[in-house]
Structure 1
Amino acid sequence: MITFRELTDESGDLAALRAFYDTLYVTEFPDPDERESLANMADYLRRKHRGWYGRNSYHIVLGLADGAVVAASISDYLAEPNTGVIEFLLIAPACRGTGAGRKLLAHTESLLDEDARRAHDRPLDAILAEMNDPLATSARTDNLDPVTRALIWHRWGYRGLDFPYVQPALSPDQDPVTNLILIGKPLRADWSAAIPAPIVASTVHEYLRWAMRIDEPDASPEFRDMATALGRTDGVAQLPLDRYVGRDDTFDLRPATDADEFAAAMTLYRNTFAPGPATVPESAFRRARADPDHRLWTLRRTPADPAPAGLASFFALPAAGFAGYLALTGPLRHAGLLRRLVARMETELLSQRHHLRGWYAELAPDTDAAPFRHLGCHELAVDYHQPAPDLPIRLLFKAPGRVYAPPALTTADLLADIEDVLTSVYAVADPRTHPTLRRLRDALPDSPEALVPLR
């Protein structure tokens, strides 16, 4: 049985806040740049008591079971856009899967709706929340698998908001947080397809002002960039979170690890990719089966389909990924599944490499690059040759997740990644002296920090 306690600025509540902060909160927020300070939380409760928030509001709710804090949420009501923002909602590991999260969410949403009715005499229009982006690279291990978290919030009715959200630094000693996504749940029927961009911009503006204490949000470079992006559209599209991470059951994915599935994958490979200089022999796939950083997947439309209609082969390199072959045929072709397959691939890469620059793909000169550009891939303007045989080929790069700007890929990073490609993908014994790397190095700017040119 879980009960909820909303904290005030009374001494007993502040002591409970400190106990929660020193234990559950610090554990659940391993990235110090994402943590609000205890002093700020206590100060906000005191300000609320003095009426500083006006028609806005601030809530800290603790969930208790047998006297112990097992859950918590912090949320803000913002009167100008008539929206709520959930700063975080967390459940102790021992209580996950018990329904405590859904109960705490319902309680938090109810408090925000009460705020709206008190301020405007009408219901709340929408609720937004910050969440670690499951398709963004991070230098720190998350406290919960980010794909699992995304699927939980999906079941709770939230969707990703498709714009480049960045949390500004919470203090002079902290950095902006770039691995977040803003998710939302519209509560108005006319916002079911998209939330009006001015409402999202107003919510972010007021959130920075009242929750982050940024007195002039318009002076924040992060907010200005977000406002510029939001100003280009009337409505912010909503991304179903299960589809965003490639887990919406539109295809059946199987690792081709056993002999039968590997044979089925090779049959599909032979039927899809005609033999030629840009394809590899099946012996290369057999060699890669022993590489723990290689993945070979087959895809079917349904689990009952006898043979696969899709294929994905890719490698996890030390700081990047490399997509060898991606194919969608038969019932999977022209079904809008490439983005979901790539999302599935990226979440797998991120589970292996928390710090991931992005991934590369080789594209034959006569292959249409439009589907890849639609995903956010950029073609690098470099002299690149596939090593076996020595074949000029186009090299694509994509940063993980949503892509809103060209990649800032340095020459040093590209050379390091291609060295890893030669070693891991093509089994080149001495990659630094190989013609592919030497030709690439000679054609790039001398400065290791120079950005790789794009086509």
Structure 2
Amino acid sequence: MEYIRITSIEDPLFRSMHELMQEIFPAEEVLEYSLWKEPLEDPGIRVFVAVHEGKVVGATEYRYYEDFQVAMTDFTIIGRAGLGIGRFLASKRQKDLQEVAAASGSGMLGMFAEIYDPYRIQGHAFGGIKPMDPFVRREVLSHLGYKRLDFGYVHPSWENDGEAVTELDLCFWPTDEERSEIPAELVAQFLSRYYSVLSSKPKEWHEMVEKLKSQTAVRLLPI
């Protein structure tokens, strides 16, 4: 299996990846095809696909924020069961992030990820791929060391229509597994920058960020 970076919407592998995203994720979670042009060309955004026998069978997008010393996993897609795609992507991603952090001369406090709450996302089959089932993914991420941030999370729809998506939790993988909280200001700053690309964010999202700014820390709870 190959781990190949995509940096252009003209790359044939990108079309395959985007089609896979549309099969797996709800529509509000998939950025429109043409809007990927700038993100793919951004050197700070890292999009890789897992290619098996010439076909895209998985993908992951992530980024590292040097000034925050944190990373964000935008998504991880497993397109076929029985190939060890999840483990392959997680291992390759971790190695790449360690190299990026080292090259920047900074350490890494940890990595954010949005995780579906299976009790709130009922009715979506995630492409019929069992490894993508929210129950399975949540348990796997728990084993990897991710913790749920203790606040009501609102996610702005990637359709940029101002709608609030409430079926996810914001989670964090701390490099120090003994860490029990992270600064609320860090969470607020991260979310403000991460979603700056969306011009239409729901009122609930703005209220959430303002509430975070009034806090000192956010607890890390078991998933």
Superposition TM-score, scaled by structure 2 size: 0.86
Aligned to 2:198: 214
Q: What per-residue deviation string (whole Å, max 9, x for no partner) do you get for residues 381-405 of structure 1?
A: xxxxxxxxxxxxxxxxxxxxxxxxx
What value does the CA root-mean-square deviation take over the aligned residues?
2.4
The code of the aligned residue for 2:100 comes to D
Aligned to 1:34: 29
Q: Does 1:165 align with 2:136?
A: no
Aligned to 1:25: 21
CA distance in 2, matches of 1:137, 1:89: 17
* Closer, same or farther: CA 46–142 of 1 in aligned 2, 3 Å: closer
**Larger radius of gyration between Structure 1 and Structure 2:** 1
- Indicate conservation of the 8 Å contact 2:31/2:158, yes or no: yes
Shift, 1:142, TM fit = 4.1
For structure 1, the 5+ residue unaligned runs are 49-56, 242-455
* Closer, same or farther: CA 223–39 of 1 in aligned 2, 3 Å: same
Shift, 1:139, TM fit = 5.6
Aligned to 1:235: 217
- Count residues with an aligned counterpart: 219
Correspondences of 1:25-424 after superposition (within 5 Å): 25-29=21-25, 31-48=26-43, 57-95=44-82, 98-119=83-104, 121-138=105-122, 140-143=124-127, 144-173=132-161, 175-188=163-176, 192-209=179-196, 213-214=197-198, 221-241=203-223
Shift, 1:42, TM fit = 2.7
Shift, 1:149, TM fit = 1.4
- The higher-RCO structure (CA 8 Å, 6+ apart) is 2
* Closer, same or farther: CA 113–41 of 1 in aligned 2, 3 Å: farther
Shift, 1:8, TM fit = 1.7
For structure 2, the 5+ residue unaligned runs are none
The code of the aligned residue for 2:30 comes to R
Quick one: percent identity of the two aligned structures?
25
Secondary structure (helix, strand or coil) at the match of 2:75 reads strand
Aligned to 1:7: 6
- Indicate conservation of the 8 Å contact 1:167/1:222, yes or no: no
- Indicate conservation of the 8 Å contact 1:62/1:73, yes or no: yes
- Indicate conservation of the 8 Å contact 2:156/2:162, yes or no: no
- Indicate conservation of the 8 Å contact 1:159/1:183, yes or no: yes
Query: Which shows bigger deviation, 221-230 or 57-66?
Result: 221-230
Superposition TM-score, scaled by structure 1 size: 0.44
Q: What per-residue deviation string (whole Å, max 9, x for no partner) do you get for residues 18-68 of structure 1?
A: 12212x211111x111111221223312344xxxxxxxx101100011111
- Indicate conservation of the 8 Å contact 1:102/1:156, yes or no: no
* Closer, same or farther: CA 113–214 of 1 in aligned 2, 3 Å: farther
The code of the aligned residue for 2:120 comes to A
CA distance in 1, matches of 2:93, 2:126: 23
- Indicate conservation of the 8 Å contact 1:133/1:180, yes or no: yes
Q: What per-residue deviation string (whole Å, max 9, x for no partner) do you get for residues 183-205 of structure 1?
A: 1101246x711122111112211
* Closer, same or farther: CA 78–227 of 1 in aligned 2, 3 Å: same
CA distance in 2, matches of 1:220, 1:79: 28
Larger strand proportion, structure 1 or 2?
2
Q: What per-residue deviation string (whole Å, max 9, x for no partner) do you get for residues 165-190 of structure 1?
A: 1111324447321111111101246x
Q: What per-residue deviation string (whole Å, max 9, x for no partner) do you get for residues 54-108 of structure 1?
A: xxx101100011111111001122233121111110111333xx43212211222
